[in-house]
Amino acid sequence: MTTLYKSPSPLSETARKAVAETLNARLADGLDLHSQIKVAHWNIKGPQFASLHPLFETFAVSLANHNDAMAERVVTLGGRAYGTVRHVASASRLPEYPQETSRDLAHVALLADRFDTYLEGLRASRAVAEEQRDTDTVDQLTGVISEFEKHTWFLRASLEG
């Protein structure tokens, strides 16, 4: 990201650039994670189907909203949001999803691991925003972190016992 557009943000161009770059990285992870959640949602089988199928959809809808807000924050800061499938495939930090998976708890374990990776990235991006004194982005990322910590707890609790 070389050139930033005019922004209503009072942050310096250097700060806006750093935050926009880290948010684009999280957007790539988030778009990849969304597609992986949908694969799990579509292909789940087993005794937990009735409860997990709609839960996965809830996760996907939540994440789609956060992805949109993150992309809009990048643009508000004067950057460009990157999110084509090809870009996401090259930029996401998440491992490939084994699409042949069908068993309910196998999907739960795979998603829980990916949620952990997503959360690590969110926390790293929040640290960048804190360093740049971008409290608005810190607040936004904190909301996503809180929600996905809860989602991860739901998944991990399903594996215990």
Under 8 Å between Cβ of 28 and 83? yes
Domain ranges within the chain, ordered by starting residue: 13-159
Distances (CA, A) of 65 to 44, 90, 98, 113: 23, 22, 25, 21
The whole-number pLDDT of residue 2 equals 65
Q: Digits of tens for pLDDT over the chain (161 positions)?
A: 568 999 999 999 999 999 999 999 999 999 999 999 999 999 999 999 999 999 999 999 999 999 999 999 999 999 999 999 999 999 999 999 999 999 999 999 999 999 999 999 999 999 999 999 999 999 999 999 999 999 999 999 999 96
| Residue recorded with tokens 């790293």 | 124
What's the whole-model pTM score?
0.96
The whole-number pLDDT of residue 129 equals 98
Question: Which superfamily is assigned to 13-159 in CATH?
Answer: Ferritin, core subunit, four-helix bundle (1.20.1260.10)
* Alpha-carbon span 15 to 128, nearest angstrom: 9
Under 8 Å between Cβ of 119 and 155? no
